[in-house]
Amino acid sequence: MEPQKEIAIITCPAPSVDHLDRHGYLFGHPIAHSMSPLFHQTIYDGLGLRWSQLLLPSTNMAQFLELIRHPNCFGAAVTMPHKVAIMAHLDHVDADCVRVGACNTIFRRGDQYVGTNTDTIGVRESFYQNVDARVFHGRPGMVIGGGGAARSAVYALVHFMKCPTVYLNCRDPVEVDAIIAWCTSQGYGDGLVYVSTAAQAEALEGPGAVVSCVPNFPPVTAAEKQARAVTEVLLNKQHKGAILEMCYHPLWTEIAAIAKKAGWQIILGTEAVIYQGLEQDRYWTGKELSELPVREVKEVIAKQLTKARL
C-alpha cells in the first residue's frame, strides 16, 4: 500500500443532528460540490425515513471518529483523502476492502464499525444492469488509466465480471507497476498485462469490457499519445463490447466518442456513482436493491448534471 502523505488538519463545525431519527456523514475534503447528500436524501425520502447524510468537509480524523460513535449514526461515506487512512481506525474491514486497499463506506454491525468498498460494485453493476454479460464474460477486460479508481476497476473485472485477463493501458509505467504489485500481493494480479504500444495491442485479443479512469484531456505528451493509440487499436478490434466512462464532466468525452464511432456500447460514469451509492444504502438501510427507489435517484442525478452544464 502506498505511504500516506501528511495532511493538514482542517476541522469544520459538527452538523446538527437533533432533527433526525438517523444520520450518516460524507467525510472528506474538498466535498462542497458532492451530489452524495442529495443522492442519499432521495433514497431516504423515497423510503419515508427521517434520515440524512451530512457533509463533513474535514481532514480531522479524530473529530470524525467521535461523531460516528453517536448512537443514531448509521455510518458514513468516505472519500479522498481518507480512503486508505480510515482502514486502521475501524473494528473490521471486509475482504473486498482489504483487496482493493481502500475504504469508501462504513456501516455498523452491532457495536462494531465495519469498512467496505462499494466502488467495485459501482463498476460491476454499471455493466450488469446495462449490458448483455455475454459480450464480456470470459473475454479480456481493459482499464485505461492508473491510481485508485483503476485498482477498483481491475478488481471488479477480475473478481466479479469473469475477465481472465485485464489489459492495463496507462501513460505512466510506474503507476502500472504499482497496480500490478498491489493486485499480485492480494492474489488477483496473475492476469494483468501492461499494453504499452499500439504494436503490442495489434497482436492481442479484443476486450469485452473497458473501464476508462482518466480525465477528459486530449493527449499531449508522447506517453499520452501512445496510450490513446493503444485505446484506439483495442476498441477497433472486431469484437465489440461495452465501455464505462468514469469521467462525466463533461458527460460526453473524447474516449466515449472514439468508442461510439468504433461500435461500442457506452455506459456513462453516473451509472457507477449511482450503483456504488445504492450499495451503500443497502448496508445502511438493510433494504435490497429491488426495494430502493432507483428510478427516482437516476432522475435526480440527471437533473443535477443538466443544471451543472447550464
Positive or negative, the Cα torsion across 154, 156, 159, 161? negative
Choice among 5, 83, 260, 298 that is catalytic: 83
- Confidence band (pLDDT; 50, 70, 90) for 4? low
Fold agreement between 22-117 and 122-270 = yes
Which residue, chain included where needed, has cell 468537509? 57
Residues 22-117, CATH architecture: 3-Layer(aba) Sandwich (3.40)
Element (H, E) at 121: helix 119-128
Q: How far is residue 310's CA from residue 307's CA, in Å, rounded to a whole number?
A: 5
pTM: 0.91
Q: How far is residue 50's CA from residue 29's CA, in Å, rounded to a whole number?
A: 26
> Catalytic: 162?
no
State yes or no: pLDDT of 250 exceeds 80. no
Residues 103-115 have a mean pLDDT of 96
Phi, psi of 287 (to 5 degrees): -90, 150
Element (H, E) at 40: helix 36-46
Domain residue ranges of the chain, discontinuous segments joined by +: 22-117, 122-270
The mean pLDDT value of the chain amounts to 94
Q: How far is residue 16's CA from residue 115's CA, in Å, rounded to a whole number?
A: 24
pLDDT at residue 6, rounded to an integer: 60
Residues 122-270, CATH architecture: 3-Layer(aba) Sandwich (3.40)
Residues 286-308 have a mean pLDDT of 91
Q: How far is residue 250's CA from residue 216's CA, in Å, rounded to a whole number?
A: 8
Residues 75, 78, 79, CA angle at the centre, nearest 5°?
165
CB 201 within 8 A of CB 230: yes
CB 144 within 8 A of CB 175: no
pLDDT tens sequence across 64-73: 999 999 999 9
